Amino acid sequence: MNQYKKEIAAGRYYVHNTNSSPSQTVVTEPENKQKRKKFKKLKTVSGDELMKKTVKPVRFVVKDLLPRGLNIVAGKRKEGKSWLMLDLCFSVAAGESFMDHPTEQGTVLYLDLEDPETRLIQRAREIRDVIPSKFHEATRAGKLSSGLAEQIEDFVRDHPDTNLIVIDTLQKIRKPKGDTYAGDYQVVSSLKNLADKLNIAIVCIHHTRKMKAKDTFDSVLGSTGLTAAADGIYVMERKAEGKPFGKLSFISRDIPDGEISVRFDHNTCRWYRVTPSDMERELLLADEAMSALIDFMKRETVFKGTATELFERLGLKIGANNLSSKLAKYENSLRNLGIEFTKDRRKTQRMLTLIYTPKTMGDDETMISQHGVTMVKSA
């Protein structure tokens, strides 16, 4: 009993069961403090201090289109991504505009990790007669976990004016089976930290899923860890397989979300920016049914009848309903070419009236596409 009193006096006590025997010792406050883990105190900045700080404006490699940081350009296989990125590299290295946007000239490193050097040379010569001297390429590099960051830092030390590095493709520099959220986030975060540290733009070419997604950016292959960690996401999509028209959609931390209509020119092997109306006109002239309609109206100038009678006169096999849908789809473009049409119901039939009025003496030339419609070259 005396020992028990001593324990109480020392600040320790027991919870007794029905037999009044000690069951569990409760640690006292002094002992609990000794067992606390040491931690680093948070370093905070007050609102007043934040207001006094100056923030440098965002630096762009391509003005209002590509800021410095980590960016991902994704698209289907053989979509033309590599042509787009190679043109970007040449434009920045030469200090020339890209997609009608001014560029900041600087040294560029293109890591072409999927193709042999011979293919890169062939593509480069199709895009340009002279490759800019500030353009550098490599077909071999380490993975992000085994030396790539050091290789990039070493290159930038040797070329201090470097402002753009393109990695083709992201999958080539990461560990196999790393497409979990944590794995994706870690890879992209590491590249982002490197881009921020060197104050450059790093662009990784990546792929999209085979299945379509409601949201364009959900189509990027992998988990959402990729899109969550990157500064900007750019997705290249063609309007139809094998056609030279498409769009480049983008979301970014530093620029408003946007979308650019683009067209691939087979002669120069470059993507060009076009207005939506230009694209609609190009698609109109590439459409077999609409092309037949234009030729027919140039000869007849006036048509009155049903959609069935019209597609029979045109020698088409698409059906009256499909023809009517195409007329509605391309109404503005047809009007710009001088073809007006109206619809009205007479008893049980819907009648069409089409009138072609040349706008100028040389209007026939406006009926011809300025760019040959060709298959898009593979990425």
Dump pLDDT digits (tens) for 74-87.
998 888 899 999 99
Burial class (CB in 10 A: 0-12, 13-18, 19+), 178: middle
179: confidence class by pLDDT, cuts 50, 70, 90: low
> Distance between CA 267 and CA 117 in Å, rounded?
22
Given a cut of 60, whether residue 52 has pLDDT beyond it is yes
Among 252, 274, 296, where does a domain finish? 274
Q: Is residue 92 assigned to a domain? A: yes
Q: Is residue 50 assigned to a domain? A: no
Residue (of 83, 85, 57) closest to 71 by Cα position = 85
Q: Note whether 104 and 163 are within 8 A (CB).
A: yes
pLDDT at 374: 42
Residue 167 burial (CB count, 10 A): 25
Does 352 lie in the same domain as 208? no
Taking only Cα atoms into account, the Rg of the chain, rounded to an integer number of angstroms, comes to 32
Does 106 lie in the same domain as 188? yes
pLDDT at 309: 87
Does 213 lie in the same domain as 70? yes
Q: Is residue 41 assigned to a domain? A: no
C-alpha distances in Å from residue 358, one per residue of 259, 282, 287, 328: 34, 19, 21, 21
Does 269 lie in the same domain as 235? yes
Q: Is residue 207 assigned to a domain? A: yes
> Distance between CA 13 and CA 7 in Å, rounded?
7
Q: Is residue 148 assigned to a domain? A: yes
Q: Note whether 261 and 276 are within 8 A (CB).
A: yes
> Distance between CA 190 and CA 335 in Å, rounded?
53
Does 212 lie in the same domain as 92? yes
95: confidence class by pLDDT, cuts 50, 70, 90: very high
Residue type, 376: V
Among 274, 291, 323, where does a domain finish? 274
Dump pLDDT digits (tens) for 253-276.
999 999 998 988 888 889 999 877
148's CB contacts (< 8 A; 6+ apart) are 141, 142, 173
Q: Domain with 130 in it: what CATH number?
A: 3.40.50.300
The helix (H) or strand (E) run that includes residue 308 is helix 307-314
Can you name the residues that pair with 203 across neighbouring β-strands?
Answer: 71, 166
Does 171 lie in the same domain as 318? no
Does 27 lie in the same domain as 134? no
Q: Is residue 377 assigned to a domain? A: no
372: confidence class by pLDDT, cuts 50, 70, 90: very low
Does 194 lie in the same domain as 170? yes
90's CB contacts (< 8 A; 6+ apart) are 96, 124, 127, 128, 131, 132, 135
pLDDT at 215: 84
pLDDT at 28: 56
Dump pLDDT digits (tens) for 26-51.
555 555 555 667 888 899 999 999 99
Mean pLDDT of the chain: 83
Among 274, 306, 329, where does a domain finish? 274
Q: Is residue 175 assigned to a domain? A: yes
Report the sign of the C-alpha dihedral through residues 76, 80, 82, 84, in that order.
Answer: negative
What is the domain range of residue 341?
283-367
Does 122 lie in the same domain as 152? yes
Q: Is residue 323 assigned to a domain? A: yes
Does 329 lie in the same domain as 359? yes
> Distance between CA 290 and CA 364 in Å, rounded?
15
Does 19 lie in the same domain as 111? no
pLDDT at 48: 93
More confident residue, 148 or 333: 148
Given a cut of 50, whether residue 362 has pLDDT beyond it is no
Number of domains, the chain = 3
The helix (H) or strand (E) run that includes residue 344 is strand 339-346
Does 130 lie in the same domain as 11? no
